Structure 1
Amino acid sequence: MKEITLETKIADLLNNYEGMKDILIEINPKFKKLNNPVLRRTLAKIAGVRQAAIVGGMEPSDLLNQLRIAVGQKPIESGDTQEVTSSSEVPAWIATEPKATIDANELLDKEDNPLAKAYNILRKSDEGDVITIVADFQPEPLIEEFIKSGHEVYCQKVDDGNFVTYVKK
């Protein structure tokens, strides 16, 4: 088996290691969302271990090492993992009235895809429009996909465990 790294996709873990879904849920109850088949088919394909850790509110190196130990791989020294830091400066454009607000939890509960829903809204939006995504987790895989697509993104923790992600077209 391939070494598990921070970039290993969650879908690859689920496909390559029997019982991995249960291992992930045992490590962090927030990963219960992996019981959602839509999430497993879509977001798990783009989310790596680093992003999953952020979604779960964990240090990426902690999740990485717990996964490695669970499958019989040696843990990696914390200096061997590269952490990504993001800017904490609040952009002025988040004060813009959002064109739409997406409740990621509600969509996932209905086995719908929040990324697809957000892209559909953004496609019909004008340059400079802002949408917001609310969730009880930091949607790191979505954030990275929006950035790759050229959108400006800012995520803010609003209260205990809830996040608002602003996406500007």
Structure 2
Amino acid sequence: MSYDIKEFDINEGTLIGDIAKRYPFIREFLIELSPKFAKLKNPIVFKAMSSKATIALVSEKSGFEVEDLINKIKNHIKEKSL
């Protein structure tokens, strides 16, 4: 499947749920990125968080800088597009 990162702006206010709707593999990527996200394996927890958690919040919880997290997500989407 091909994904086009250019058509979807990802910034600090973007909801994780919006990214996951467009790029479903992001959920697993976040879980692999930080053990702090292990709870996202639970579909109920993920659903609850996906409508509230912004990139800024995820960044804060994971210990990554906002721009660093955005770049990691964008790079992962690009990798999946190859």
* TM-score normalised over the length of structure 2: 0.75
Q: Which residue of 1 aligns with 2:3?
A: none
For this pair of structures, how many residues does the alignment match? Answer: 73
Note if contact 1:27-1:66 (Cα within 8 Å) is conserved in structure 2.
Answer: no
CA distance in 2, matches of 1:31, 1:58: 13
Q: Which residue of 2 aligns with 1:34?
A: 40
Partner of residue 65 from structure 2, selected from 59, 66, 69: 59
The answer to whether 1:14 aligns with 2:15 is no
Percentage of matched positions with identical amino acids: 29
Structure 2 unaligned residues grouped into runs of 5+: 1-6
RMSD: 1.8
Moved over 4 A (4+): none
CA distance in 1, matches of 2:66, 2:57: 8
Structure 1 or 2, whichever has the larger Rg, is: 1
Q: Which residue of 1 aligns with 2:4?
A: none
Note if contact 2:59-2:69 (Cα within 8 Å) is conserved in structure 1.
Answer: yes
Whichever residue aligns with residue 35 of structure 2, its letter is P
Bigger helix fraction: 2
SS at match of 1:4: coil
SS at match of 1:46: coil
Note if contact 2:16-2:53 (Cα within 8 Å) is conserved in structure 1.
Answer: yes
CA distance in 1, matches of 2:24, 2:52: 20
Partner of residue 52 from structure 2, selected from 41, 46, 49: 46
Note if contact 1:4-1:64 (Cα within 8 Å) is conserved in structure 2.
Answer: yes
Whichever residue aligns with residue 66 of structure 1, its letter is K
Bigger strand fraction: 1
* TM-score normalised over the length of structure 1: 0.40
CA deviation vs aligned residue, 1:31-71 (integer Å, no higher than 9, x gap): 12111222222222011111001111221221111001111
Note if contact 1:30-1:56 (Cα within 8 Å) is conserved in structure 2.
Answer: yes
